[in-house]
Amino acid sequence: MQEVLQYIFSGITSGAIYAVIAVGFSMLYNSTELINFAHGEFVMLGALSFVTLSGPFQLPLLPAFILSVAGVAVIGMLFERLAIRTVRTPNPIVLIIITVGASIFLKGVGMLIWGKDAHTMPPFSGHPPLDIAGAKLLAQSLWIVAILFITVAGLHLFYKKTLTGKAMEACAISQKAAWLTGIPSKFMVLLAFGLSTGMGAVAGVIISPITMSSYDMGTMLGLKGFCAAMLGGLGSLWGSVIGGLLLGILEALGVGLVSSGLKDATAFLLLLFILYVRPSGIIGSVEVERF
Amino acid sequence: MDNRSNWHRIAYAALIVIVVLTGMLVSNAYHLQLLTFIGINTLLALGLNMLMGYAGQISLGHAAFYGIGAYTTAILTVHYAISPWLALPAAILIAMAIAYIVGVPTLKLSGYYLGMGTLGFGMIVHILFREWSGVTGGASGFIGIPPLELGPVSFSSGRNYFYLVWAIVLLSLIICRRIIDSRLGRGLRSIHDGEKAARAVGVNTGKLKLQVFVLSAAFSALAGFLYAHLVYFISPGTFDFITSIRIVTMVVIGGMASIWGALLGASLLTLLPEWLHSFSEFEMVVYGLILMSVMIFLPQGLTRGLMDIYERSKRQPDR
C-alpha cells in the first residue's frame, strides 16, 4: 500500500509535467490545427535557459523563471513568423516536416550553446520531503503541481474573461469568420505560438530540478506530452491536465508493479488505445477526422 | 508507346549504366558501402512513397517495418541457423502480416490522427526491440548476422553487395511503376485527390489503403533484410522514431508521387550527413535549416520544385 502510494506520488509529479506540455500542444492545436513536433525542444530550451540564468547568472528563481519563459515564447513567435507563416501550402505533411526540421535545428542550437553535458539544478525550496502514510512527497512535487494548476487556471481565465482570449477562441472556431469580425487572426496565431511555447518553457523550468537537463531531453518529453494531450482530448485545456496526470500515474504504476521496461511503452499503448476506441479523448468533442 | 513510358525506359537504362559504371570505378570500401546504403534507403522511401505520395496517407512509424525485416532475418539466421534466402520471405511475410493487423484499425484514422497512430505503433515496436532482450539482444544489439551467399558467389564483398542491392532497387522501381499504372494505382491516386469522391465512384478505399500499407511494409522489410546482412550487426537505435522521420523526409524532399523522387530523396538524405561532417558542431543546425527551407520554398519536393523552376525559366523569354 505504502509502495503504491509512493508510485502515485511520483506519477503525479511526472504527470503534472506531461500535463503542462500537453496544455501547450492543445492550445496550439486549438488555434491553428497544427501539431508542433518541435514542442519538446521548447521544453529543453526553457529548462536549460533557466538552469543558466539561475546558476551562472545568479538570478533569483522568480526573475529567472519569468525571463526564460518569456525568452522561449519570443523564440516560438519568431519560429511562427519565419517558418510557419511563410509556408505556401500548409497541408499537414508539409507542416509536420517543418516542425520536425525546427526540432532538429533547435536541438542543434541547444547543443552549441550548452554542450553535450547534462546540467542539474537544486530544488526550488529546501524543505524536507513530507511523510504521508509512509510515502515521501518531495517539496518539488508540490511546486510542480501548484504551478500546473496556477498556469492552467490563469489560461482558463485568459480564454474566458479577457477580450484577447475570447478573440483567440473565436479564431479557433473559424479563422475566416473571426477575421471578418475584425479580429487580427494572424496576430492571434502568433500569440498562440507564444503562449504554447511559453507553456513548454514552464514545463522545462519545473522539471529542471528533478531531472538532468540536456540538449536531447526534449524529444521524449514532447512525445509523451502529445500522448497526454490525445488522451485527454486534443484542444481541451482541462482534458490535457487529466490526460497528463493519468498518463503519469499509469506510467509510474506500470514501472513499479509490472516492469521498468514498460515505462516508455505505457504512453504509446495508451495513445493507440485511445485512438482506436475514442479518438476524441476523454474530454473533447466527438467530431474527429475518423471515418 | 506514349512519351511517358519511353521516358521511364530511358531512365531505367541510365540508372543501369550509372550503377555498373559506379561499381567499376569506385573502389573505396567506405564509398561503396555509402552507395549501398543509398540503395537501401531508396527501397524505404519507395515503399513509403507508395503510401504517402500516391495514397496520401502519412506514416510516422515506418522504421518499425524496417526493423521487423532486419530482426526477423537476424533471429532466424542466428538463433535457428536458417538460410538467409528462406529468412527473406519470412521477414517480408511477417512484416506484411503485422502491417495488416495494425493497418485495419489504424488506417481508419486520417490526417494528424493517422500520423499519431503510426507514430505510437513505431515507438512500441522500437521499445519491444530494446526491452525483449532474450530474443532481440536488447539495447546492446544483435551480433553475428551471417553474410549472404548464393552458390559460389559471396556477397560479403562491398562490390557484390552493391550490385545486389541496386539490382533489387531497379526491380522495385519497375514493380512500383507497374503498380502505379495499374487499376490499383489509379484507385490510390483517386484516394489522394479526394477520398469521398473515390468512394462515390466505387473505389473500395479501405481495402486499397490497407493493400498499399501492406505493400509499403513489404518494401521496408526488404530494406531491413538487406541492411542486416550488410552490416552484420543491428541495434534498436537504428529503427527509432528519428529513422521513421528520416524516411518521411526522404519522400517529401525528393518529391511525393514520383518513384524517381524516392531515389533522389534517399540519395540526398544519405549523402547530406556526410557533407555536413565538415560543419562538425553545426551539423544538426544546418540539417534542420535545410529541411525547413526546402519545405517552405519547394513544398512539392525537389523533383517537382526544380522542374517547375526549369519550366518557368524556359517560359521567361517568350514574355
Q: Which of A35, A104, A113, A223 to mutate to test the interface with B (most CBs of B within 10 A)?
A: A104
Q: Is the pLDDT higher at A266 or at A134? A: A266
pLDDT band of residue B316 (cuts 50, 70, 90) is: low
Q: Name the residue range of residue A212's domain.
A: 2-277
Mean pLDDT (whole number) for B180-209: 84
This complex has an ipTM of 0.83
Per-residue pLDDT tens for A218-228? Answer: 888 998 999 99
Mean pLDDT (whole number) for B236-250: 88
Partner B contacted by A271 (CB < 8 A): yes
pLDDT at A291: 33
pLDDT at A290: 36
Per-residue pLDDT tens for B102-145? Answer: 999 888 887 778 888 898 999 999 999 998 888 888 888 888 88
**Residue A138 region by backbone torsions, left for phi larger than 0, else alpha for psi between -120 and 50, else beta:** beta
Count of structural domains within chain A = 1
Q: With respect to residue A285, please indicate whether it lies within any of the assigned structural domains.
A: no
Residue B58 to residue A92, Cβ atoms within 8 A: yes
**Alpha-carbon distance A115 to nearest alpha carbon in chain B (angstroms):** 10
Q: Is the pLDDT higher at A59 or at A146? A: A146
Give B234's DSSP letter: B
Q: Which residue has the cell 561503396?
A: B32
| Pairing between β-strand A130-132 and β-strand B149-150 as defined by DSSP bridges | unpaired
Q: What residues of chain A lie within 8 A of the CB of B257, using their CB?
A: none
Q: CA A34, CA A27: separation in Å to the nearest integer? A: 10
pLDDT surpassing 90 at residue B254? no
Which residue in the set B119, B256, B288 is minimally distant from A105, CB to CB? B288
Positive or negative, the Cα torsion across B188, B192, B195, B198?
A: negative
Partner A contacted by B290 (CB < 8 A): yes
**Per-position DSSP letters for B260-300, written without gaps between them:** HHHHHHHHHHHHHHHHHGGGGGGHHHHHHHHHHHHHHH-TT
Partner A contacted by B98 (CB < 8 A): no
State the cell numbers at A186: 494572424
Q: CA A255, CA B278: separation in Å to the nearest integer? A: 43
Partner B contacted by A5 (CB < 8 A): no
Q: Where are the domains of chain B?
A: 3-241
pLDDT at A172: 80
Q: Is the pLDDT higher at B194 or at B215? A: B215
Give B148's DSSP letter: P
Residue A102 to residue B109, Cβ atoms within 8 A: no
Instruction: Calculate what percentage of chain B has a pLDDT beyond 70.
Output: 97
Q: What is the residue-averaged pLDDT of chain B?
A: 86
| CB contact set of A199 (below 8 Å; sequence gap of 6+) | A20, A21, A23, A24, A27, A151, A155
Give the type of residue at B303.
T
CATH code at position A256 = 1.10.3470
Per-residue pLDDT tens for A13-51? Answer: 999 999 999 999 988 988 888 889 899 999 999 999 999
Q: What is the residue-averaged pLDDT of chain A?
A: 86
Look at the pTM and tell me if it is higher than 0.95: no
One-letter-per-residue 3-state SS of chain A: CHHHHHHHHHHHHHHHHHHHHHHHHHHHHHHHCCCCCCHHHHHHHHHHHHHHHHCCCCCCHHHHHHHHHHHHHHHHHHHHHHHHCCCCCCCHHHHHHHHHHHHHHHHHHHHHHHCCCCECCCCCCCCCCEEECCEEECHHHHHHHHHHHHHHHHHHHHHHHCHHHHHHHHHHHCHHHHHHCCCCHHHHHHHHHHHHHHHHHHHHHHHCCCCCECCCCHHHHHHHHHHHHHHHCCCCHHHHHHHHHHHHHHHHHHHHHHCHHHHHHHHHHHHHHHHHHCCCCCCCCCCCCEC
Which chain B residue is nearest to residue A273, measuring alpha carbons? B117
- The alpha-carbon radius of gyration of chain A (Å, integer) is 19
**Alpha-carbon distance B295 to nearest alpha carbon in chain A (angstroms):** 6
